[in-house]
Amino acid sequence: LESSLLTQPWASVCFGEAAFLAKACFRDTGYILLISDLSSVWYESADTEAVGQRSKELNKRLTVHVSSFLHRLSNLMCPLLAGQPDTATSFSCHPTATSLSLHVKSELSGLPFYWDFHCCPAPVEMV
């Protein structure tokens, strides 16, 4: 995933009132996300086990395979990164001194769909 992320272009995105640069890579085996406000860079990398666990915590009413969650996350993030966000999806960003949380609210199969990206500071070699 990390090597695939290197080939992805940075995209300008807004979460609420704040502007960021972001890039992401989604696969059947997980995802990796990089977000920067030009003074800090945060990332999250999650494999299928982590995605499955978080999906159960955040979406108790949805019982779909992990690959469906990854596909949905890709379908929400990729248009946003391409400058064509889905108007039915909301993103909110909550930075702290040591982390950045990106909260996503949408729908999947007619039910509410929630996701939280829990990003930590990116290592220098990744940046």
What is the rounded end-to-end Cα distance, in angstroms, of the chain? 14
Give every strand in the sheet of 111-121, ordered side by side.
11-15, 18-27, 30-36, 41-47, 111-121, 100-108, 90-95
Q: Which pLDDT score is estimated for 16?
A: 77
Average of pLDDT values for 115-125? 92
- Closest to 23 measured CA to CA, from 13, 84, 92, 15: 13
Give 122's pLDDT tier (boundaries 50, 70, 90): very high
Torsions phi, psi for 114 (to 5 deg)? -125, 145
Q: Which pLDDT score is estimated for 1?
A: 65
Three state DSSP letters for 6-72: HCCCCEEEEECCEEEEEEEEEECCEEEEEEECCCCEEEEEEEHHHHHHHHHHHCCCCCCCHHHHHHH
Q: Which pLDDT score is estimated for 99?
A: 94
Q: Which pLDDT score is estimated for 111?
A: 85
Domains, the chain, ranges and CATH? 1-122 (2.170.210.10)
The 10s digit of each residue's pLDDT in 8-39 is 899 999 887 889 999 999 999 999 999 999 99
Q: Which pLDDT score is estimated for 23?
A: 95
The 10s digit of each residue's pLDDT in 36-91 is 999 999 999 999 999 999 999 998 888 878 888 899 999 999 999 999 888 889 99
**Which position has the higher pLDDT, 11 or 108?**
11
